[in-house]
């Protein structure tokens, strides 16, 4: 008889534990879902703000044409190198130098904090002055945190 009561008590405690775990999972899923929605809203507003100012010369010879969200947790910048023609330029050297600069800028730029905090990948598409694609640089979250 005591074994039945002991087993029944264990089963009851197990069910209570499972119930509490399910409630906690549901709560955290709701909380994280809302947090993701808030981040997405903040990022979308930021991108809208960028695009309202485009095209924008961000540095001599470099123009930001547009910004987008091509996939989840990825921001894409489309830029034009105003003084470069693909046929006449050493694209590999330009790409290497720009990539180094982008990584150090991404680490320090306070405007990218929301992307750092939320593990966004950054894609930079570069075009020449004739709108010919030059190269794409992808910076992963672990490269700029």
- How big is the CA angle at 65 (ends 127 and 83), to the nearest 5 degrees? 45
**What pLDDT was estimated at residue 112?**
86
Percent of the chain with pLDDT over 90: 48
**What are 65-122's pLDDT values in tens digits?**
999 999 889 999 999 999 999 999 899 999 999 999 999 889 988 888 888 888 999 9
**What pLDDT was estimated at residue 109?**
87
What does the alpha-carbon distance between residue 54 and residue 62 come to, in Å, rounded to a whole number? 12
Answer whether the bond into residue 13 is a cis peptide, omega within 30°: no
Q: Could you tell me the sign of the dihedral formed by the alpha carbons of 115, 119, 120, 122, in that order?
A: positive
């Amino acid at each position: 008889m005591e074994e039945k009561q002991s087993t029944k008590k264990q089963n009851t405690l197990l069910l209570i534990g499972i119930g509490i775990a399910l409630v906690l999972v549901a709560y955290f899923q709701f909380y994280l879902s809302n947090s993701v929605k808030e981040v997405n809203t903040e990022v979308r507003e930021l991108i809208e703000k960028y695009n309202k100012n485009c095209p924008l010369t961000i540095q001599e010879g470099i123009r930001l044409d547009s910004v987008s969200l091509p996939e989840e947790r990825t921001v894409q910048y489309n830029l034009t190198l105003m003084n470069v023609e693909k046929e006449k330029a050493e694209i590999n050297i330009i790409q290497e130098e720009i990539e180094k600069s982008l990584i150090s800028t991404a680490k320090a730029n306070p405007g990218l904090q929301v992307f750092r905090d939320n593990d966004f990948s950054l894609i930079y598409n570069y075009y020449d002055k004739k709108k010919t694609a030059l190269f794409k640089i992808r910076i992963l979250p672990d490269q700029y945190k």
